[in-house]
Chain A
């Protein structure tokens, strides 16, 4: 039994990522997409939040959204995995529930 949590807002705009990471269980999958991808960058105020999340949760970034914002691959926090839309579909398939933190 695992859950997929989707976060689509920048952590610098809303606190949905913080709520998601605080309330989601260990073993959950977290997908950052749309402006949520900014959370995956190194050297920001929320880097530690993501870096510690990857120890007991799987954190994914939607590649097309990351690229569309001109973000470089080498700026991504280690342990974060990139997926495309097909990978997004696979994550929904593989987890029992999807919780959107809109």
Chain B
């Protein structure tokens, strides 16, 4: 079955990011397909490579990147939410005149249309949030 996942919360406020990650991992391990993971609202904070949690803390950003590498996941960060919260890739840095980028490997910034497409193309859309 084809799943898509929507993540509405950042890694340090509530449990949503972890629940979404554990669910996605379990689905992939069971042989399901994940069409897309869409990060919306504070969920975009899952996609900064500049985060440096203590070594004995789980690193949710790296976890997503590693899962994406293993299963070729499409990790999409909402552009409007990203601009507000300072999540920047090369294109956004150039467009908005920023002096740096911080998007984590395997993440990409795109629009809300990607969420709509994910909902249409997938058998199930599962939402994790506050």
Contact = CB atoms under 8 A, between A and B. Distances in A.
A35 B13 CA distance: 13
Contacts, number: 51
Chain B binding surface SS class: mixed
Nearest to B6: A100
Interface stretch (B26-34, B62-70, B88-96): B26-34
Interface of B: 1, 3, 8, 14-16, 19, 22-23, 25-27, 29-30, 32, 124-130
Contact of B124 (A64, A84, A92, A102): A92
Interface of A: 6, 8, 33-35, 64-65, 84-86, 88-90, 92-93, 97-98, 100, 102
Contacts of A8: 15-16, 19, 128
B26 A98 contact: no
23 contacts: A8-B15, A8-B128, A34-B14, A34-B15, A34-B16, A84-B26, A85-B23, A85-B25, A86-B26, A86-B29, A89-B26, A89-B30, A90-B30, A92-B3, A92-B124, A93-B124, A98-B125, A98-B126, A100-B126, A100-B129, A102-B8, A102-B129, A102-B130
